[in-house]
Chain A
Amino acid sequence: MNVKFLNPFVEAAYEVLKTETGQEIARGDLRLENGVYVTDDATVILSLVGAVEGTVFYSMNNETAMKMASLMMGESFDSFGYLAQSGIAELGNMITGRASMKLSDAGYESTISTPSLIMGKGASISTLDFPRLVVPLNTAAGPFMIHLALRQGTTTLKTPQMAIPRAFEASQQG
């Protein structure tokens, strides 16, 4: 794991979480983990492909996830249902998207995948030969962890960067 990939993610997470929760974020101590990641209640998984490749996890407990979704959407959730799940996945999407823009500014062009959400405690996720850098953040909603398992990529992207534009989605729906 290359440490120069860390700051874009931490900055992006600060910015996004501060906007979404409306409060300051505090960073805990960094650590490097080699073993498997044992899941917390909710984990958002995104991959990066390109000049930076690997996986990012955002993990939190149920309480944090529901508070975070409540803060983001301005309505109170008492169960981690579909809407709250989408909110949390979107949060991971926003942080990773913003981080990939910062990485691109630093000369590392990469594309991010769609988010997948894992719910349920105690499963183990292995990133195989990618060690993980873990960044604990304290937010108004509770503890929020970022796990970065990234390395400098060798893949040249066959396609330019892309996201799914709103206009395209609208036309698909219409």
Chain B
Amino acid sequence: MNVKFLNPFLEAASEVLKAEVGTVASRGELSLQISALTSDDVTVLIHLVGQVYGVVLYCMPKETGLKMVSSILGQDIEEMNSLAQSGVAELGNVITGAATVKFSQSGFEANISPPMVIVGKGVQVSTLDFPRIVVPLNTDLGCLTVHLALRESVPGKNNNPEDFVPLAIDPSARIS
């Protein structure tokens, strides 16, 4: 994971949280994780493909998700129903989209996938050989944790399965 991909995300996240949710985010302590992420109540998963390649996860407790969605939609949402899920997915989508615009300005083109929402505590989400930078964003509505498992890619290669790096490798050999 390249640290230069971190700031565009943090800027995008605080801009979007301010504009959409109306809350100020303060950054908690960064950490680097290699083991699988154990999901919180709500996790939004978005893939990036392009010169920046990998996955971004936004994790939050249910209450935080509901409060944020209520604030975005301007009405009280009390259940993590399909409306609330589409709200948190959209929040992740907007943050990731804004971050890719910033990447593009610094010369890294990337496309983002449609968001997915994982609801359910305690399942493990593994990004395999992509270590994750974990940034907790504290807001007055609760904590939104951003996990970035990204790396730079090389353009112009074909999408042959043979081109892919085999993932079945010794993890200790990779992280040094």
Contact = CB atoms under 8 A, between A and B. Distances in A.
A49 B55 CA distance: 13
Contact of A128 (B51, B86, B129, B158): B86
Given A123-B123, A128-B85, A117 B118 contact: no
A9 B156 CA distance: 24
B119 A126 contact: yes
A55 interface: yes
Interface in B146-169: 151, 153-161, 163-169
B15 to A, nearest CB: 22
B145 interface: no
A120 B124 contact: yes
A163 B111 contact: no
A117 B49 contact: no
Contacts of A36: 119
Contacts of A168: 154
23 contacts: A49-B47, A49-B113, A53-B113, A86-B167, A89-B128, A97-B161, A98-B161, A111-B111, A113-B53, A116-B125, A117-B126, A119-B126, A120-B124, A123-B119, A123-B121, A126-B82, A127-B116, A128-B82, A155-B111, A158-B109, A161-B158, A162-B157, A164-B53
